[in-house]
């Protein structure tokens, strides 16, 4: 039973925050269903967007974990800001849905969710829990044109690096642009092997790990994220090297079959373990509070 004095001391904002805005919540669910179907068909089924569901689930868990604190500190946001934010978010959502532009579609849904949370808890609590909302942005797929511009130089770099590392060992490999020639075979280095997918996945998981182990330390998050980028690129160079060696010694069927996917998983897991290992080493050498 709640004591009368407890009720008297509670602010109206905190009492209102304990009751979700049902119209906004129902509307958000209605928007989420078609967006989730589109994401599942276009992005989540591919290697470049495979981290999306993981980000959504873990971000939801982080939000659920903070929910009691959010309710306790809640100061509901301005209705005018909510109305303007929803109008802009819905404009993005409808435009993305109508023209099959998945980035705008997902961004509109993200904005609508953020506005709903602002209406319940206010700007101060959104800012206090900034990491969760920044982390959730990894679930929004970037524009295809941006990916193409980023992956092309990465594909060229990993092609050059992989062939340069193998030639001194007498491996019959050369390259022309993003095409690698191995004996009588030729392979196109695809977007999945460029390293960009690994960079995004490693960044998302690394930031999640940092938040759990260190809290929302912006400086350390940026520091470890900077380390994750070269690690992801180097990991994909070795992924290509593994596939070339499999082709030379075991044949094209093995390299392009089950081992193609397995090599990617092993290399990604190794890169992730290296990130965790570097974090532990840095903690041991410099102390956990240095970057806090």
Residue 288, class by beta-carbon neighbours within 10 Å (0-12 exposed, 13-18 middle, 19+ buried)? middle
Q: Minimal CA–CA distance to 105: which of 114, 113, 96?
A: 96
Catalytic-role residue among 73, 167, 193, 214:
193
Q: Are 167 and 229 contacting, i.e. CB atoms less than 8 angstroms apart?
A: no
Q: Minimal CA–CA distance to 14: which of 128, 121, 119?
A: 121
Whether 214 is catalytic: no
End-to-end CA distance of the chain: 41
Whether 193 is catalytic: yes
CA distances (Å), origin 238, targets 23, 171, 264: 51, 15, 10
DSSP 221-279: HHHHHHHHHHHHHHHHHHHHHHHHHHHHHH-HHHHTTHHHHHHHHHHHHHHHHHHHHHH
Q: Are 36 and 102 contacting, i.e. CB atoms less than 8 angstroms apart?
A: no
Return the active site residues.
193, 239
């Amino acid at each position: 039973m709640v004591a009368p004095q407890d009720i008297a001391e509670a602010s109206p904002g905190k009492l209102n925050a304990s009751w979700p805005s049902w119209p906004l919540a129902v509307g958000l669910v209605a928007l989420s269903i078609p967006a989730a179907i589109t994401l599942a068909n276009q992005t989540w089924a591919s290697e470049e967007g495979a981290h999306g569901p993981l980000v959504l689930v873990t971000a939801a868990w982080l939000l659920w974990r903070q929910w009691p604190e959010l309710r306790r500190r809640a100061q509901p946001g301005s209705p005018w800001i909510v109305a303007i934010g929803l109008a802009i978010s819905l404009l993005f959502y409808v435009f993305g849905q109508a023209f099959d532009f998945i980035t705008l579609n997902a961004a509109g849904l993200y904005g609508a969710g953020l506005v709903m949370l602002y209406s319940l808890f206010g700007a101060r609590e959104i800012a206090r829990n900034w990491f969760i909302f920044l982390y959730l942005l990894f679930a929004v797929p970037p524009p295809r044109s941006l990916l193409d511009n980023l992956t092309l130089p990465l594909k060229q770099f990993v092609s050059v690096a992989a062939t340069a590392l193998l030639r001194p060992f007498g491996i019959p490999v050369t390259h022309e642009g993003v095409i690698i020639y191995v004996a009588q075979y030729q392979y196109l280095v695809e977007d999945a092997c460029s390293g960009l997918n690994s960079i995004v996945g490693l960044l998302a998981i690394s930031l999640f790990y940092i938040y759990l182990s260190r809290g929302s330390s912006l400086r350390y998050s940026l520091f470890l994220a900077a380390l994750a980028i070269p690690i992801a690129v180097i990991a994909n160079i070795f992924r290509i090297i593994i596939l070339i060696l499999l082709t030379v010694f075991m044949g094209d069927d093995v390299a392009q079959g089950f081992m193609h996917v397995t090599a990617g998983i092993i290399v990604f897991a190794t890169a992730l373990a290296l990130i965790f290992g570097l974090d532990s080493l840095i903690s041991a050498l410099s102390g956990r509070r240095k970057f806090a």
